Amino acid sequence: MAVVVVIAVILLAMVGHSSGTWCVCREGLSEAMLQKTLDYACGAGADCGPIHQKGPCFNPNTVKSHCSYAVNSFFQKKGQSQGTCDFAGTATVSASDPTPSLMEALTTSRVVPLQVTCRKLSSSLSADFSCLEFKRYPCTSGRVSIMNHPNLLLRPVSASLQPQELSALGHEGNVAPSKEILELWRDVEAVCFDVDSTVCVDEGIDELAEFCGAGKAVAEWTARAMGGSVPFEEALAARLSLFKPSLSKVEEYLAKRPPRLSPGIEELVKKLRANKIDVYLISGGFRQMINPVASILGIPRENIFANNILFGNSGEFVGFDENEPTSRSGGKAKAVQQIRKGRLYKTMAMIGDGATDLEARKPGGADLFICYAGVQLREAVAAQADWLIFKFEPLINSLDSVPLYDD
């Protein structure tokens, strides 16, 4: 199955083209986060230094401006109006874009650099225009605001990344599962899912923090925790201390921000349950935010292992329950071991995107770790997975040969 990656890299200048409003990266994001987004979108970092100073990549060149034109070219290809783009972590777009999952795929998939041939556009155009080059560009700091460009038209280049080309990304060994891995998957008696960036397209604590006005700082801690560079309990305490959500604020968030499920997760959970395979949610997030997700998927509350925010008598934030196994590093592994010991499952699988999910694959825990990279591709985690997927369809399709039973 081909993985389609949209690479927005060619900037064409068209005299007399109607003006439009450009979407830009949100203020306050780190250079590292912007560079990561740019690298995912443009392969190796587009250098638009030769572009005219009045274009989107005016001097000084900035990572922020590169990200902005890459996303706008995506919008124009889809025939959609430009809007506000959210580059916080998953680089999702605003709700006005009807296909946010496509944007997520653009900015969370590794791409193979393409050779772009220069094109003569028009003799009437300034000689300063040139086609973009594929190389890493040492960008300087700077700011970008909303801009109108009546003479510019962005057109993207599309590429199909075939499975055999994944060798360039270093994951060819686990994108196509072995016979043994497929047999393990088909024999599972219970499947444990991570929630944030797996069952849901968001990182719940990041979304809550943004709602409370502390999104940037909390997102950076989340990235460090999911990558395994800091102990989870340290990251959890640090993130909560940055915005200290009250009960009323959490309730307001839940009312205004319903869960956004990953494409295909409802069908997968339905098929698992139809095959008498038990489903669990194991998350470093909070029960207050995961309970609605479980209700949508028909997962009983007793099958949720997650953290719990603690509130005082007046609804003020007082901390989190440190007795929950998922509140510390290695907690997901302990939760899976606890489930297996209590229910005597013979075979279990863990599906997630982070280092804490990978930890669950150990003796007495999960037999199989499936890395879901449909929202976030964490390369250190993906490299150690038994099976790397970007969609849930391969898991669904592989169960088709298993006899279904009535509820």
| 340 and 213 assigned to the same domain | yes
- CATH number of the domain enclosing 286: 3.40.50.1000
Same domain, 179 and 130: no
pLDDT per residue as tens digits for the range 78-99 = 444 444 333 333 333 332 332 3
- Tell me if residue 209 falls in helix, strand or coil: helix
Is the torsion defined by CA of 206, 209, 211, 215 positive or negative? Answer: negative
Is residue 204 domain-shared with residue 332, that is, in the same domain?
yes
The pLDDT, as a whole number, for residue 294 is: 97
Same domain, 127 and 249: no
As a whole number of angstroms, the distance between CA 287 and CA 134 comes to 45
What per-residue confidence (pLDDT) applies to 85?
38
Residue 128, domain member (yes or no): yes
14 in a domain, yes or no? yes
Residue 174's pLDDT is 81
φ/ψ (deg, to 5) at 396: -65, -50
Same domain, 126 and 90: yes
211: tokens are: 């709602």
- Answer whether residue 307 is part of any domain: yes
In a domain, 406, yes or no: no
Q: 155 and 210: one domain?
A: no
pLDDT for 143:
27
pLDDT, position 154: 28
Claim: this prediction has a pTM higher than 0.85: no
Considering the candidates 196, 278, 353, 357, report the single residue annotated as catalytic: 196
Which residues pair with residue 304 across a beta bridge? 281
Same-domain pairing of 194 and 302: yes
**Would you state the pLDDT for residue 222?**
78
Please say which residue of 112, 141, 161 terminates a domain.
161
> Does residue 183 share a domain with residue 148?
no
What Å distances lie between residue 239 and 194, 209, 235, 244, 368, CA to CA? 19, 8, 6, 9, 30
The answer to whether 1 touches 117, Cβ cutoff 8 Å, is no
Which of 111, 139, 161 is the last residue in one of the domains? 161
Q: Does residue 194 carry a catalytic annotation? A: yes
- Domain count for the chain: 2
- Residues 121 and 218 occupy one common structural domain: no
Which of 161, 193, 222 is the C-terminal boundary of a domain?
A: 161
Residue 8: name the closest of 62, 60, 56, 59 by CA: 56
Instruction: Summarize pLDDT for 272-319 with one digit per residue, the tens.
Output: 999 999 999 999 999 999 999 999 999 999 999 999 999 999 999 999
39 is catalytic: no
In a domain, 405, yes or no: no
User: How many other CB atoms are found less than 10 A from the CB of residue 228?
Assistant: 17
Same domain for 329 and 223, yes or no, is yes
Residues 157 and 268 in one domain: no
Residue 167 domain-assigned (yes or no): no
Helix (H) or strand (E) holding 304: strand 304-307
Helix (H, G, I), strand (E, B) or coil at 147: coil
404 is a domain residue: no
Quote the pLDDT of residue 8.
32
Range of the structural domain that residue 199 is part of: 172-398
239 & 372 share domain = yes
Residue 73 pLDDT? 52
Determine the pLDDT at residue 215.
87
Q: Does residue 64 lie within any of the structural domains?
A: yes
User: So what's the pLDDT on residue 304?
Assistant: 98
Read off the pLDDT of residues 181-200 as tens digits, 9 standing for 90 and up.
999 999 999 999 999 999 99
**Residues of the chain where predicted confidence (pLDDT) is lower than 70:** 1-173, 226-228, 401-407
Q: Identify the active-site residue in 194, 278, 353, 367.
A: 194
